[in-house]
Structure 1
C-alpha cells in the first residue's frame, strides 16, 4: 500500500495510538472471552532456501510475538483487505490498488483509485513475501512493520480517507465483523485489531513456486531452459547486489540513478526517497529494492511507475543511469564508470529468466483471493 507525505503518515499513526489507549479501549462490558479458534495457529510456510521470516514485534510482557498468525486472524484480515467498508466512501478497499493477478500491484503508474480521485505521488508496490521485510515498508521505509503500515493508507486523505473512530463504529455495527473479531481476538472490533488482522493476511502472501523454485528445490530439474539458466547467472552477476538471494531483493534502499535533481520541495520531498525518513544525505534519492518475483506481470516499474516495460528498465541500467554523488556504487560496472554492460543477447537471456520468476500458483491462489466472490 502506498502513502505520500511523511507528516500525514505520522499523523495517522498518532490518531490510531490515541484511539488504542483511550477513546475506544474496551470496557469490562465490552470484553469477550477468547475462543479456542484464536489459539489455532496458522501453518506458516517457510520455503526451502528462504531466510527465516521476520516475526511480528515481540511483546515485552510475554517475550512472544505480539501478533502471531492464527487461522481466524488471517481469514479476518483477508476479508478486511477486500472490503470497501474500510474507506470513507465505502468504495475503496486495499485490493483497489493491489490486484492479485498483478502480484498485488495495480498495473498503472500512479493510481487515482483513492477516495479523493486525486493521483497519488507513488506507484502502488507489489505485496510479495512481506514476511521477510526487515528494513521498513513503503518506497522510503517510512513504516517499520506491517501493523503500523496499515494506518497510512487507511487514514490518508487521497487513499482510503478513513477517520478511525468511524471505522470502529462501522465494524461494531456489523454483526459479521463482531463475530469474526471475537473469534480472532476475543474482542470487539477496534482500529488496532483491524491493523493486526490486515497484517496477518499480508504475511501469508508468499510466492515460492515459480519455475525457478522448482528447479532450485530439485523438484523439476529441467524447469529452466538453457536461455533461462544463462539469464539466472547474469542476474546474479549483474543485478544480485540489490536483487539478492532467494527473495530477489535485499529489502534495502538504493539510489539507482534515475534522477539527478532532488529539489522537489513542492511535493513534500517525494523524490528524496529514504532521505525523507533518515535525513542522511547518503540516502538522497534512495528507494526500496522491489523483488524480481512476478516482475513480468507487475509493470510499470520504479517508485513512480515511469518505466512501462522491462525493456525500458534494462535500457536504463545499460545506458541512462545518472552519475551523481549518491548513485549506488554497485552501478559502476562499466570500467568504474556508471552503467551495467549488457549485450542484446544477455538482455534477452535475462528477460527469459525473469519470466521464470512468475508464480502462477501465487497469482491464482484462492486463499489470497476475495472472499466475497
Structure 2
C-alpha cells in the first residue's frame, strides 16, 4: 500500500485592488531553515479526511475518497478567478513547485497525487478546470483539477474540512465574483487521516515534500507502537506536563492513533467488580445490550450538540477519568465557559445526587441538562435533538431495537443512562486488600493512609466504607468553604498569562474584559433550594478512581490530591455555613503523603478495559445526519 497525503488549502482572498504592495507569503521564497531529517519527528493523526462527490475535468463524477488511499495526495481549494497573490495563486504556485521537483524523483512522484478543487462550481465547470489546469501541470505528474455539480454538493466537503468560504457582495448586494476564506492545508495519510495542517505562513513546497518523506519513513505499524507503549492508550492526548518550563517539548498523542477493544458492558453492570454493591437499576429502564450500545453511540456522538462539534465525551474524556484533567472548569461549544469542573462518571450509576450541587437524582433526567444548556451542548429544544436523530441514517432502527419505538425525550435519556450505568470501576488494590483479604495487595504507606482515613483524619465520616462494599460517599451535601472562598475573593488587578512554554506576561484585568463571559457567582445547592442554609453546599463525590480525575472540587481549584488533603487538614475554609464535620486535623507531612498514597490505591483494576472499550466506540459523522428541517407551519 502506498501512502496518501491529502493536502487541503483554503485561501484568504481579498479585493484585487489591494494586491500591488502586499508582502509575499514565505511559500514564494527560499525556505529560511533546513527541515528536520525525515523519520526524526512525528506527524500525529488529527482527524479523518472528509468525503464528498466531485466531478473530474473529464466530467466524470467520483467520490473524493476514491482519489485517496493509493497515493499521497495534496488537495487545494481554489477558484479560477482569484487574484489574491497570497490566495489561490499561492496554492497553485506551491503545488506547481512540488510538481516540478517530483519530476526529478519518479520513485517519489509515483506515490503522490495533487488534487485541486474549485469552490466556485457555478463558474468553474469541468471544462474550465481542464483549461485552468493546463497552465500548471508539469509532464505526466498526477495532478487532477476538480469541481462539483453545484454549491449543494460542495458544501458538505467544505464543512468536512471546516473551511468557511463566504461570497463577497458589493454595496448593492451583488456578488462580486470573489470569496473570503482562510488558507489551510491538510496532510493526510493512506488511511485518510489528516496528519498536518498548514496556514499561509507555513505553506512551502520544501516543507511539504519533507513531511511526505517523513510519512514514508514512518513505516512502523501502529500495532507495534502500541504494544511497545501500552500507556499511550490511557493518558491525555495532549500531555502538557512541565509546560511551564522553557525547554518543554510536546508529547501529544493523536486520539485517532489509539485502537480499542469492545468490552462486555452488560456483564460488568450485572456483576460489578470487587468492592461495589449490586447496581441499582430503575424498573422502568432495565439494562439490555441494545440500550447500552445505543447509549454508548450517543455518548461519543458530536452531532448531539447544536453545531455538531461537541459530544458528552469531550467533557468526560475516558482516558482522563471520564472527566477532564486539562481544565479547571469545563468549556462548551464555541468555547463557552462553564463555571464548574467536569465530574468523573466512574460508578455514576450508584450516585443518588447528580451534578455538583445534587439537583438531579436520575441519570435519565440528568442527561438533558448538558444537552440543553446554552454553554454546553446548546441545543435550542428537546424537539431539535429528537428530530436530528430521526434524520440520521446511522440511527435508523436502533431506538426501535432498544425500546420498540423511535427517538423521544424519554428514550434518549434512557439510552444515555444505560451506558453510564456500565462505567463501574473497582477491584482496586484497596478492594483486594480490604474486601478480598489479600495481605500483599496494599502497600504499607497506603495501609497507614487507610488508618488515617478512618481515624485521625476522619475522612470516612463523609466518604463512607461498608463491611462488604464501599462507595466512598455519604450521598449528602456539605459546605467545605471552597465555594464561599471563591465567592468572596476579589478579582486581582493583574492576571498572569502563559503565552508559550516558560513565557508569562502580566495582563491588566481590565484588558481581559469582554474576551470571555463574566463567570457567574456559584452558591451551590442554594440556587435550587433557595434555603440560605444551603449556600455553597455541594454533594460528596465518591473517591473511587479519584487519582484519575484531577483537578478537584466543584470548581477545579485544587490541582492535586496533596492539595486536597492539605485543604482539609486546615479545616476547610471558615464561613457561617461551614459543615460542623470539618475541623483542623494537625496531620504531619508524612501523614498527608500516606493519605495521598491510599487515595491513589482506589483506582479500579478494570479501568483500562473501560477506556479501551471507549476507544472502540463509534464516533458520529456529521455527513451521515441531515439537519432538521423546520416545519413551515410551526414556530411562526
- Whether these two folds match at TM > 0.5 is yes
TM-score normalized by the length of structure 1: 0.79
| Larger helix percent | 1
Counterparts of 1:38-117 in structure 2 under 5 Å?
42-43=266-267, 44-48=270-274, 50-56=276-282, 65-107=283-325, 108-112=327-331, 114-117=332-335
Partner of 2:597: 352
Report the Cα distance in structure 2 between the residues aligned to 1:109 and 1:367, rounded to whole angstroms: 26
User: 1:363 and 1:331, CA in 2 relative to 1: closer, same or farther beyond 3 A?
Assistant: farther
CA shift, 1:257, in A, is 2.1
Check the 8 A contact 1:300/1:308 in 2, yes or no.
yes
Structure 1: runs of 5 or more not aligned: 1-40, 57-64, 333-338
Instruction: Give the match for residue 371 of structure 2.
Output: 154
Structure 1 partner of 2:586:
341
CA distance in 1, matches of 2:519, 2:280: 31
Give the drift of 1:219: 6.3
Give 1:194 shift: 0.9
Separation in structure 1 between the aligned mates of residue 602 and residue 275 of structure 2, nearest angstrom? 15
Query: 1:296–1:216: structure 2 CA closer, same or farther, 3 Å change rule?
Result: same
Does the CA-based 8 Å contact 1:275-1:286 persist in structure 2?
Answer: yes
| Mapped partners of 1:52, 1:191: distance in 2 | 28
SS of alignment partner, residue 101 of structure 1: helix
**Structure 2 partner of 1:171:** 389
CA RMSD of aligned residues (A): 2.3
8 A contact 2:483–2:524 mirrored in 1: no
Q: Which range moves more in the overlay, 291-300 or 120-129?
A: 291-300
Deviation, structure 1 residue 371? 1.1
* Number of the residue aligned with 2:125: none
* Separation in 2, partners of 1:68, 1:364: 23
For structure 2, the residue ranges without an aligned partner over 5 or more in a row are 1-264, 490-516, 620-636
* 242-251 vs 144-153, which moves further: 242-251
Deviation at 1:150, TM superposition (A): 0.6
Q: Mapping of 1:140-289 within 5 angstroms?
A: 140-162=357-379, 163-218=381-436, 220-237=438-455, 238=457, 239-245=459-465, 246-260=470-484, 270-289=521-540
- State the structure with more CA Rg: 2
Q: Pick the structure with more strand per residue.
A: 2
Q: Distance in 2 between matches of 1:145 and 1:164?
A: 18
Query: Deviations for 1:222-264, whole angstroms, at most 9, x for unmatched residues?
Result: 1101111111121122211111121111121101122546579
State the partner residue of 1:60.
none
- Counterpart CA distance in 2 for 1:215 and 1:270 is 43
Distance 2:421 2:280 in 1: 9
The answer (yes or no) to whether the contact 2:271–2:278 under 8 Å persists in 1 is no
Counterpart for residue 113 of structure 2 = none
Q: Of 352, 362, 367, which residue of structure 1 is paired with 2:607?
A: 362
TM-score, normalised on structure 2?
Answer: 0.47
Check whether the contact 1:54–1:133 (CA below 8 A) recurs between aligned residues. Answer: no
Q: Relative contact order: is structure 1 or structure 2 higher (C-alpha 8 Å, sep ≥ 6)?
A: 1
Q: How far does residue 269 in structure 1 lie from its aligned partner after superposition?
A: 7.1
Q: Distance in 2 between matches of 1:67 and 1:341?
A: 48
In the alignment, is the contact (CA less than 8 A) between 2:273 and 2:425 conserved in 1?
no
| Conservation of the 8 A alpha-carbon contact between 2:339 and 2:519 | no
Query: Counterparts of 2:488 and 2:528 in 1: how far apart (Å)?
Result: 16
Q: Which residue of 2 aligns with 1:19?
A: none
Counterpart position of 1:326: 577
**Contact 2:551–2:558 (Cα < 8 Å) also in 1:** yes
C-alpha displacement at 1:180, in angstroms? 1.2
How far did residue 42 of structure 1 move? Answer: 4.0
